């Protein structure tokens, strides 16, 4: 499979055409930015390689630990991480659970420490997020961006694996011929 650096290069090189497609279809800066942003995020931080100690995993920095159970539960390159549709759906569901858990915990801590203002700010952010999710265009475009970013990763993995298999086969063939000549 390609290295993390190769995956990064593919992501950066394909992000621009992705933004151009977004602009040509929508003629809206917000939609274009959302599509390109989600595509970049998916390729650089949210790809199937979160199932292993990859650069994508390390880029989560302080929050990388949230991906440890995922890494333990999902075997490397299984359909739950590298599947064209199942991969991104599994990761979205997994991340949603963590976000909900972290939000609930932080709100409870803020309330317990009598930091009502902080808890209110948290609720404000949650409300704004809910408004975003009420817009079906943004939700759809965001999902397409995430899906395309994950799919380009899986596609690159598959192409490189196929090329390696072909190279191995072509290496084996002349060896057989050679043996026959000596019989
Ligand atoms: Zn991979």
105 C-alpha to ligand 1 centroid (Å): 32
**CA–centroid distance, residue 142 to ligand 1 (Å):** 21
The SS3 assignment for 52 reads coil
Q: List the domain range (segments joined by +) for residue 17.
A: 4-174
What pLDDT score does 177 carry? Answer: 52
Dihedral angle sign, alpha carbons of residues 33, 50, 71, 66: negative
What CA–CA distance (Å, rounded) separates 59 from 66? 12
Does 91 reside within a domain?
yes
Ligand 1 centroid vs 156 CA: distance in angstroms?
Answer: 8
In a domain, 183, yes or no: no
User: pLDDT confidence of 180, banded at 50, 70, 90?
Assistant: very low
**Does residue 27 belong to any structural domain of this protein?**
yes
Higher-confidence residue: 93 or 130?
93
| Structural element, H or E, at residue 131 | helix 116-133
113 assigned to some structural domain: yes
CA of 179 to the centre of ligand 1 (A): 38
What are 61-82's pLDDT values in tens digits?
999 999 999 999 999 889 999 9
In a domain, residue 179? The reply is no
Condensed to tens digits (0 to 9), the pLDDT of residues 99-142 reads 999 888 888 888 777 777 777 787 888 888 777 778 889 999 99
Residue 128 lies in a domain: yes
Say which residue, 155 or 106, is predicted with more confidence. 155
pLDDT at residue 174 in the model? 62
Indicate whether 133 belongs to any domain: yes
CA 101 – ligand 1 centroid, Å: 27
Domains identified in the chain, total number: 1
- Per the domain annotation, does 181 fall within a domain? no
Q: How far, in Å, is the centroid of ligand 1 from the Cα of 129?
A: 30
- Provide the phi-psi class of 53: left if phi over 0, else alpha when psi is between -120 and 50, else beta: beta
């Amino acid at each position: 499979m390609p290295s993390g650096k190769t995956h990064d290069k593919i992501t950066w090189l394909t992000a621009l055409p992705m933004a151009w497609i977004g602009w040509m279809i929508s003629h809206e800066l917000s939609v274009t930015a959302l599509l390109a942003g989600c595509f970049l995020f998916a390729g650089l931080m949210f790809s199937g390689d979160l199932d292993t100690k990859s650069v994508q995993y390390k880029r989560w920095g302080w929050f990388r630990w949230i991906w440890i159970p995922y890494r333990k539960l999902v075997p490397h390159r299984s359909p739950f991480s590298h599947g064209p549709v199942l991969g991104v759906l599994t990761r979205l569901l997994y991340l949603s659970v963590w976000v909900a858990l972290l939000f609930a915990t932080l709100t409870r801590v803020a309330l317990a420490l009598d930091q009502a203002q902080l808890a209110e700010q948290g609720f404000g952010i949650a409300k704004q997020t809910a408004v975003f999710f009420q817009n079906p265009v943004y939700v759809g475009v965001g999902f397409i961006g995430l899906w395309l970013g994950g799919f380009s990763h899986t596609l690159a993995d598959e192409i490189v694996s196929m090329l390696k298999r072909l190279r191995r086969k072509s290496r084996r063939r002349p060896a057989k011929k050679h043996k026959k000549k000596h019989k």
